[in-house]
Structures are given as structure tokens and as C-alpha cells.
């Protein structure tokens, strides 16, 4: 997937990783970017900065009607970047009820699926392009302190694999992006080694241009995948030790 000349749509573009995706797309030569956020006013600084290359759209990916309105406005999209996400710092039993899990599912799974179903045909009709889904190392293995989040990211990874098969003859490449903790507002209250969102965004562009369907965008992702392959039992035990340590350092409030 060549970024230069692409017409992209980025969900959750007003801050954090989404904002850096917009800036990386500009750097790599995207012709136009539809940037979306629930609060369109939050996109004003980006709109002022990039002007003619930038189209702000109000969009809540959990609302089908809003997705359809966005599709009516962004009929020329050739690259969809599903970045919008929700994170609840709870395991399954820690969560007590399922409200947080349901909120994560609404964005991370059903929101992503809704965007893919709506925009994949548009991209195909425009001569092809790509869909890129922001996943996580938690897609590969559950980290219990983020247990419900990890479950949604595993489901999103499975949908990404399904979509890749379904779009294989329609000129639409499908990428999954994997990273550990990213230094954004979403993880602001979590102590630990974090990768910069700018690095993840740039590595995502490089991965798409190289045709890497599974883009390991930071060192954590590059470590986890081979460790799971080479010693899954040992890695599981190590992960559980890290989970126990994490909960000691981040007690539930």
C-alpha cells in the first residue's frame, strides 16, 4: 500500500495515537485525510494546521447512523485506519459487572466491524487500497489486568484475519498493527515502559508500504510474537508474574 496520494479516514483522530497517525499520513504524502472524532471541535487545531488536506468529521463508531453519514461524505476513501479504542483496567472477575467490557466491545469490536463493513466496499469501488486496524500485543495473549480489553483485541484480530480473506480478490489489503503500552492519555495512569505514539504511527506507515500484513510497531510486539511461538508455556508464566506485579503497583481504585 503506497501512502502517497492515498485518501485516508482515521477514527479517533483528535488526540493520542490518532493524531500521530494523521501527522504520519501527511509526512508520507497522503492527498487527503478525513479525521474523525466524537467531538468535531477537538479537531479544529489539526484542521487549521493542514487546511486543504484535512476534512474533519463528527463520528461515534458505536452509532451505525453516524458511520453511514460519514460514508456519504467520504466517498473517495482508499485507506481506512481504525484507531478508535476503549480501555478498561480490569480483569474479568475484577470488573464485577460487564458494563466496562460492553463499552470496550462496542468500540474495539463492533465499532471496528461496523467501519470495515461500511468502508471496505467503498475502497474496493475506488480501485482498491487498504484497511488498517490498530490491534495490540494483548490480541496475541491476554494480560489479566487488562483482561476484558485483551479479549476485545483478540476478537478484533480475528475479524482482521477474516476481512483479509474476504477482501483478497477485491484489491483491498488488510493490515493489523501490534504494539505494547503506548504513551497516550489512555495509558496516562499506568506506570511502565511505553513507546511513543509517533514511533508507532511511523512504523505503521512503513509496514503498510512494505506490505507486512502483521505490523509489529514496537519492540514489545517484536518480542512477544517469537516468545509465544518458541516457549508459550514459559511466556505465559512470565506474563502472569508481570500481571501480579502490575496489580501490586496499580491497585484497583
Tell me the average pLDDT of the chain. Answer: 95
pLDDT at residue 52 in the model: 87
How does residue 93 score in pLDDT terms, banded at 50, 70 and 90?
very high
Which residue from 40, 61, 21, 25 is spatially nearest to 184, judged by alpha carbons?
Answer: 21
Q: What is the DSSP code string of 100-115?
A: HHHHHHIIIIIIHHHH
Query: Residue 9: pLDDT above 90?
Result: yes
Residues above pLDDT 70, as percent of the chain: 100
Q: What is the mean pLDDT of residues 5-29?
A: 97
Percent of the chain with pLDDT over 90: 92
Q: What is the pLDDT of residues 62-72, one digit of tens each?
A: 999 999 999 99
DSSP-derived secondary structure letter, 6: -
What sign does the CA torsion over 242, 248, 249, 252 have?
positive
Quote the pLDDT of residue 55. Answer: 97
In 3-state terms, what secondary structure has residue 132? Answer: strand
Position 138 scores a pLDDT of 96
Q: What's the rounded Cα separation, in Å, for the pair 6 and 25?
A: 9
SS3 content of the chain, % helix, strand, coil (to 5): 55, 15, 30
The CATH code belonging to domain 7-225 is 3.40.50.720
Quote the Cα angle for 177-4-139, to 5°: 5
pLDDT at 149: 97
Give the pLDDT of residue 185.
79
Q: Which residue in this structure is represented by grid cell 461515534?
A: 60
- Mean pLDDT score, 177-186: 91
Looking at residue 193, its pLDDT comes to 85
- Least confident residue range of 65-79, 123-137, 178-192, 226-240: 178-192
Kindly list the distances between the CA atom of residue 190 and the CA atoms of 20, 83, 97, 203, 211, in Å, as whole numbers in the listed order.
Answer: 20, 20, 22, 23, 33
Burial class (CB in 10 A: 0-12, 13-18, 19+), 165: exposed
CA-CA distance, 173 to 83, in Å (whole number)?
A: 17
pLDDT at residue 253 greater than cutoff 80: no
Q: Does position 188 have pLDDT exceeding 90, yes or no? A: no
Question: What DSSP string runs through 172-232?
Answer: EEEEEEE-S-BSSGGGTT--S--B-HHHHHHHHHHHHHHT-SEEE-SHHHHHHHHHHHH-H
Residues in the chain: 253
User: Is the pLDDT assigned to residue 187 strictly greater than 90?
Assistant: no
Half-sphere exposure of residue 28, counting CA atoms within 13 Å on the CB side? 23
**pLDDT top residue among 189 and 250:** 250
Dump pLDDT digits (tens) for 39-51. Answer: 999 999 999 999 8
Whether residue 131 is predicted with pLDDT greater than 80 in this model: the reply is yes
Amino acid at each position: 500500500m503506497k501512502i502517497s496520494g492515498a485518501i485516508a479516514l482515521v477514527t479517533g483522530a483528535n488526540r493520542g495515537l490518532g493524531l500521530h497517525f494523521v501527522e504520519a499520513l501527511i509526512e508520507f504524502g497522503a492527498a487527503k485525510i478525513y479525521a474523525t472524532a466524537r467531538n468535531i471541535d477537538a479537531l479544529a487545531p489539526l484542521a487549521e494546521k493542514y487546511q486543504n488536506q484535512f476534512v474533519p468529521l463528527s463520528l461515534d463508531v458505536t452509532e451505525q447512523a453516524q458511520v453511514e453519514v460519514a460514508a456519504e461524505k467520504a466517498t473517495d476513501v482508499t485507506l481506512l485506519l481504525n484507531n478508535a479504542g476503549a480501555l478498561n483496567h480490569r480483569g474479568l472477575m475484577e470488573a464485577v459487572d460487564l458494563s466496562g467490557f460492553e463499552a470496550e466491545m462496542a468500540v474495539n469490536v463492533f465499532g471496528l466491524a461496523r467501519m470495515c463493513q461500511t468502508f471496505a466496499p467503498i475502497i474496493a469501488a475506488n480501485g482498491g487500497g487498504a484497511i488498517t486496524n490498530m490491534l495490540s500485543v494483548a490480541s496475541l495473549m491476554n494480560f489479566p489486568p487488562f483482561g476484558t480489553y485483551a479479549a476485545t483485541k483478540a476478537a478484533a484480530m480475528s475479524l482482521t484475519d477474516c476481512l483479509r480473506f474476504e477482501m483478497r480478490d477485491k484489491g483491498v489489503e488488510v493490515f493489523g498493527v501490534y504494539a505494547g503500552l503506548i504513551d497516550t492519555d489512555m495509558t496516562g495512569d499506568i506506570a511502565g515502559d511505553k513507546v511513543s505514539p509517533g514511533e508507532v504511527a511511523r512504523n505503521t506507515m512503513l509496514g503498510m508500504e512494505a506490505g507486512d500484513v502483521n505490523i509489529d510497531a514496537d519492540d514489545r510486539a517484536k518480542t512477544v510474537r517469537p516468545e509465544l511461538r518458541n516457549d508459550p508455556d514459559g511466556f505465559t508464566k512470565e506474563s502472569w508474574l508481570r500481571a501480579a506485579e502490575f496489580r501490586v503497583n496499580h491497585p484497583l481504585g
